[in-house]
């Protein structure tokens, strides 16, 4: 037989495009359309429904950036359409681009009942099936004219991301608004041909199945009369019935399809728009659930359910009923799909506390699966947190985006820093927006790395990022792929059902130990520095607020601010969403975040101040952190370690901290010497020596200088706010020119100017510590530059430690493999630590996350190793926020020579939890004491159920085994019980004993536990 394959394939493409798809709506009649617009914030539904409208016709521009327009559409179904299926096709001016990135709409009935959402791939609203003819149709559409930030050319700077600069030019041109006859037979023919055509393209040329499908498609196209498609569509479908009925082979890969709409809680749109995106998508999905009994939809992020409940209660009622029916499945058990690299220990735990609690209280659903398809890598402390929340499974897709190495598994056990393992799945479809396209299904089957030992994978199916969800076309394709020869099989399943089957099938999967590092989007650890500072500060203020409010409630009977703390935690957790905290959203999002963090800080400072005033007994207000105290000042120590004679979590009288007065250095510069550490600052304002006197050890590498600011060009190949590419290191400048160098009080003040920017640093040495404090203020006005703070250290170390949730993770300093090379920018929390046996150095910070560590062997007789630690301070990408990080920033770092890991932990907390001074007369005994500093208290609070019980969370921080006794003043420590993160009792009490009125804890390395103590 002659090879006519390409001829038939090209014929199929054209006939579908030009004849068959247009025949889905063979007859149309225009609707009457009117409009009312507001360029301000969205108005209540009742106001939009009652607004006075003006006529508008197709082809008319509408919609200022971020505005809202209310369309009123009306018409009459022609009498001659009686007995047929009719729907309205409502085109707001959609472009062929994907949903969620342009204008969107939510359709309402005149009484305000939501019907469904509109987007480019879902613009039809059913009128009736069949209709009687003569029906009056009237709908209202709340249409959002959100600008297309991504644009035709990606990553181009745009002013559209901020209302103040976006202007008022119309963004869209109204398309056709019509009533149309819907020919279901033609629609099904389209899907038959699409499924078979897409499958055919993925099958091997030498296989018989591909040619069977080709011949059936050819016969079907012959059966279609191109002048009378609607009359001949069934005949064409009959020609395809045989090949569509051929079942899949028993060994076919099995795909669990999960209806899904990954909705970014903020990204190229503000938070307030996500509230509406979620309502549109939920309306769409509840409508689709009504149409197909097999379809199952899942939605994560408790915050998004809470938004629907608050802002669209009528939509929430439909969602709640669908949840009860098991069709609309809450998943993930987190408040939002957060970043997991940067959130601190408690914040990561509270993501699960608040997320799971919402799902339990609203729906009776206690998730065992964690759902994070789009998060930019996963910290090694996360498995323990997942388990402590009562979950055991994890799904993500994002690791498939890694650019250097291909991850070796799709299903595996992930082991965290403490040894906890969670069953983990990466969908081999390599998308969290699967459309049920043949190429995607075939790719999933080919790509699946567990072939031969497992057979199941999951496919999140539906338009996402900006929302939209699953379409009727995807559902119809899945039905055809349920069992189709040559294809993987597809079945709608809830995530938990998939995981249960996958784990039962593969009970002993391979193990991956340590962080799941994404070899992409590394710059998200630095972009939008003020957002990151706001997050870090909020986390520690919440820790303080809970600690002191709890202490005041117990010691003085002060009311505990349950509602305020709950609300503030949820606000902070929301802003840890994986496009807010990482700094990858539009200007609007980050300017709003800065305002929100300021309000959070103000309210938390109020809670802390009120509690401390009650505890101190007298006084007129809490001093700011670090404020010099007068006579009668009470010093509050929030840190989990004692300092200055004040115990951890307590308050007492202490002197003001003293710093060393700088002395003039021969040859220029200054010397700081406290008998423990001798620091030399040269005439350039650089640290050329940090000599540990007790150890007789120099910290700075010979001929090198620390406190060195380095500036690099920074234009990644794409994803400007997200990425920093390795080639940025090829070119850089050391900022050594000094505009001013002088003594300022007890500090050495260094001022530099570069480009259009200015930096002022204050370097000081405490009188009683081996620690160089560096306070850096940058007035930053650079574009596409990367600013680093470098410390070349005379240390030979094969690995270094970075703090992560409830412990630290080790990373290599060398680049033996491509896996190690790819980690050229990584995350730390409060400290980085490296050492040789017996001596180490820590670099601690109060607001930065990104860093890099490199090593070099020095030339010459010395031949020693220089290990350079660099903190990432600022970037200046232009997309999606062209003014990223412009303005004034403040950073605090400290270099700690001679530091052990325990010292690094202690100094990290000190930098982030400075002492507070309040006028008063009372010392305050800690509620809780632990007699081993290796066990760190990360939370002290009253139980969320308002029982008055005390909840204490602790972890082993040094990476070794620890045994300690916890005692509590006012609580029965000898009756302490272990709980999960949601403060529910655990039956397994291993590691907990009681003795002499205390709780004795024996913890594994990095083990975290939560204790619940009743009132004594």
Catalytic site residues? 374
* Among candidate residues 979, 977, 938, the one with its CA nearest the CA of residue 957: 938
Asked whether the beta carbons of 433 and 460 are under 8 A apart, the reply is: yes
Asked whether the beta carbons of 284 and 455 are under 8 A apart, the reply is: no
d(CA 758, CA 753): 4
d(CA 463, CA 465): 7
Query: Could you write out the three-class secondary structure of 827-894?
Result: ECCCEEEEEECCEEEEEEECCCCEEEEEEEECCCCCCCEEEEEEEEEECCCCCCCCCCCCEEEEEEEE
Asked whether the beta carbons of 795 and 834 are under 8 A apart, the reply is: yes
d(CA 826, CA 822): 10
| CB neighbour burial string for 271-301, b if at least 16 within 10 angstroms, e if fewer | bebbbbbbbbbbbbbbbbbeebeebbbbbbb
d(CA 757, CA 778): 7
d(CA 980, CA 976): 13
**What order of strands is seen across the sheet that includes strand 992-995?**
928-930, 962-968, 998-1003, 992-995
CA distances from 362 to 263, 316, 317, 795 (A): 21, 11, 11, 55
CA distances from 631 to 318, 616, 622, 656, 938 (A): 63, 14, 14, 10, 31
Q: What is the CA radius of gyration of the chain?
A: 31
* Region for 191 from its dihedrals, namely left if φ exceeds 0, alpha if ψ lies in -120 to 50, beta otherwise: alpha
Element (H, E) at 1009: strand 1008-1013
By the 10 Å C-beta count (0-12 exposed, 13-18 middle, 19+ buried), 664 is classed as: exposed
Angle between helices 345-363 and 529-556 (to 10 degrees): 70
Q: Which tokens in the block code for residue 450?
A: 């567990």
Expressed in percent and rounded to 5, the helix, strand and coil fractions of the chain are 30, 30, 40
* Length of the chain, in residues: 1016
d(CA 672, CA 171): 61
d(CA 643, CA 902): 14
Q: Which tokens in the block code for residue 273?
A: 């728009």
* Among candidate residues 699, 710, 923, the one with its CA nearest the CA of residue 794: 699
d(CA 402, CA 406): 7
Asked whether the beta carbons of 471 and 456 are under 8 A apart, the reply is: no
Angle between helices 302-311 and 562-574 (to 10 degrees): 110
Largest CA-CA distance found in the chain, in angstroms, rounded: 102
C-alpha dihedral (776, 778, 784, 786), degrees to nearest 10: -10
* Among candidate residues 217, 231, 239, the one with its CA nearest the CA of residue 15: 217
d(CA 817, CA 659): 45
Q: What is the DSSP letter of 405?
A: -
């Amino acid at each position: 037989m002659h090879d006519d394959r390409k001829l038939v394939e090209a014929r199929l493409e054209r006939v579908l495009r030009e004849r068959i798809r247009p025949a889905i709506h063979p007859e149309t009649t225009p609707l009457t359309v009117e409009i009312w617009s507001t360029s301000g914030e969205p108005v209540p539904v009742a106001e939009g429904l009652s607004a006075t409208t003006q006529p508008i016709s197709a082809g008319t521009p509408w919609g200022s950036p971020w505005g809202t327009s209310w369309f009123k559409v009306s018409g009459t179904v022609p009498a001659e359409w009686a007995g047929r299926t009719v729907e309205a096709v409502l085109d707001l001016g959609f472009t062929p681009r994907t949903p969620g990135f342009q204008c969107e709409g939510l359709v309402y009935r005149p009484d305000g009942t939501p019907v469904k959402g509109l987007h480019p791939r879902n613009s039809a609203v059913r009128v009736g099936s069949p209709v009687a003819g003569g029906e009056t149709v009237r709908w209202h559409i709340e249409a959002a004219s959100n600008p297309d930030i991504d644009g035709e050319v990606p990553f181009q700077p745009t002013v559209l991301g901020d209302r103040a600069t976006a202007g008022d030019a119309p963004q869209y041109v109204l398309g056709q608004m019509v009533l149309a006859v819907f020919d279901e037979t033609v629609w099904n023919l389209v899907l038959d041909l699409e499924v078979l055509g897409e499958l055919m393209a993925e099958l091997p040329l030498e296989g018989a199945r591909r040619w069977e499908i080709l011949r059936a498609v050819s016969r079907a196209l012959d059966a279609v009369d191109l002048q009378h498609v609607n009359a001949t569509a069934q005949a064409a479908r009959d020609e395809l019935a045989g090949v569509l009925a051929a079942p899949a082979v028993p060994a076919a890969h099995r795909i669990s399809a999960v209806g899904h709409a990954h909705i970014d809680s903020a990204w190229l749109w503000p938070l307030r728009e996500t509230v509406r995106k979620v309502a549109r998508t939920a309306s769409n999905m509840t409508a689709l659930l009504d149409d197909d009994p097999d379809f199952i939809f899942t939605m994560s992020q408790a915050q998004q359910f809470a938004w629907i409940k608050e802002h669209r209660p009528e939509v929430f009622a439909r969602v709640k009923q669908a949840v009860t029916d098991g069709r609309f499945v809450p998943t993930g058990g987190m408040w939002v799909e957060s970043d997991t690299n940067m959130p601190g220990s408690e914040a990561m735990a509270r993501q699960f506390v608040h997320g799971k609690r919402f799902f339990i209280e609203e729906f009776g659903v206690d998730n065992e699966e964690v759902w994070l398809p789009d998060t930019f890598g996963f910290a090694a402390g996360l498995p323990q947190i997942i388990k402590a929340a009562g979950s055991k499974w994890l799904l993500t897709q994002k690791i498939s985006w890694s650019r250097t190495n291909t991850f070796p598994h799709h299903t595996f056990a992930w082991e965290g820093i403490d040894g906890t393992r969670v069953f983990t799945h990466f969908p081999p479809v390599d998308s969290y927006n699967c459309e049920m396209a043949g190429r995607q299904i075939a790719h999933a089957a080919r790509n699946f790395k567990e072939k031969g030992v497992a057979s199941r994978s999951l496919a999140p199916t539906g338009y996402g990022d900006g929302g939209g969800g699953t379409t009727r076309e995807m559902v119809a394709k899945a039905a055809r792929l349920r069992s189709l020869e040559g294809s993987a099989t597809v079945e709608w399943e809830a995530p938990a059902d998939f995981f249960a089957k996958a784990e039962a099938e593969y009970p002993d999967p391979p193990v991956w130990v340590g962080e799941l590092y994404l070899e992409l989007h590394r710059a998200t650890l630095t972009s939008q520095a003020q957002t990151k500072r706001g997050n870090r500060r909020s986390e520690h203020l919440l820790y303080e607020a809970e600690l002191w409010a709890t202490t005041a409630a117990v010691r003085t009977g002060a009311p505990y601010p349950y509602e305020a703390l709950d609300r503030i935690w949820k606000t902070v957790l929301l802003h840890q969403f994986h496009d807010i905290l990482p700094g990858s959203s539009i200007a609007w999002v980050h300017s709003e975040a800065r305002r929100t963090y300021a309000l959070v800080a103000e309210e938390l400072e109020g809670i802390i101040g009120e509690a401390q005033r009650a505890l101190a007994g007298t006084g007129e207000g809490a001093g700011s952190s670090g404020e010099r105290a007068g006579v009668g000042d009470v010093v509050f120590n929030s840190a989990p370690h004692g300092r200055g004679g004040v115990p951890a979590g307590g308050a007492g009288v202490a002197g003001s901290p003293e710093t060393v007065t700088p002395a003039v250095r021969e040859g220029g510069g200054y010397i700081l010497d406290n008998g423990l550490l001798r620091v030399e600052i040269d005439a350039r304002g650089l640290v050329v020596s940090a000599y540990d006197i007790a150890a007789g050890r120099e910290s700075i590498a010979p001929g090198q200088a620390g406190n060195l600011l380095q500036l690099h060009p920074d234009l990644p190949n794409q994803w400007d706010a997200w990425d920093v590419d390795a080639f940025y290191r090829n070119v850089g400048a050391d900022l050594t020119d000094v505009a001013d160098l002088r003594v300022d009080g007890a500090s050495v003040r260094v001022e530099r100017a570069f480009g259009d920017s200015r930096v002022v640093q204050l370097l000081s040495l405490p009188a009683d510590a081996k620690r160089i404090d560096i306070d850096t203020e940058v007035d930053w006005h650079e574009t596409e530059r990367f600013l680093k703070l470098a410390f070349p250290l005379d240390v030979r170390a094969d690995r270094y430690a970075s703090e992560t949730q409830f412990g630290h993770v080790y990373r290599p300093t060398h680049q033996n493999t491509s896996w190690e090379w790819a980690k050229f920018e990584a995350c730390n929390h409060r400290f980085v630590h490296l050492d040789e046996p017996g001596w180490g150095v820590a670099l601690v910070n109060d607001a930065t996350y990104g860093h890099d560590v490199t090593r070099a062997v020095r030339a010459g007789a010395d031949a020693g190793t220089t290990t350079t630690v660099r903190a990432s301070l600022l970037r200046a990408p232009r997309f999606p926020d062209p003014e990223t990080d412009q303005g004034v920033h403040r950073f605090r770092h400290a270099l700690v020579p001679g530091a052990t890991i325990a010292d690094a932990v202690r100094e990290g907390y000190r930098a982030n939890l400075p002492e507070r001074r309040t006028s008063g007369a009372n010392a305050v005994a800690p509620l809780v004491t632990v007699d081993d500093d290796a066990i760190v208290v990360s939370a002290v609070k009253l139980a969320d159920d308002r029982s008055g019980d005390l909840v204490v969370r602790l972890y082993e921080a040094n990476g070794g085994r620890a045994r300690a006794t916890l005692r509590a003043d006012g609580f029965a420590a000898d009756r302490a019980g272990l709980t999960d993160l949601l403060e529910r009792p655990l039956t397994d009490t291993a590691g907990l004993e009681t003795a002499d009125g205390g709780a004795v804890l024996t913890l594994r390395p990095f083990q975290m536990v939560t204790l619940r103590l009743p009132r004594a």
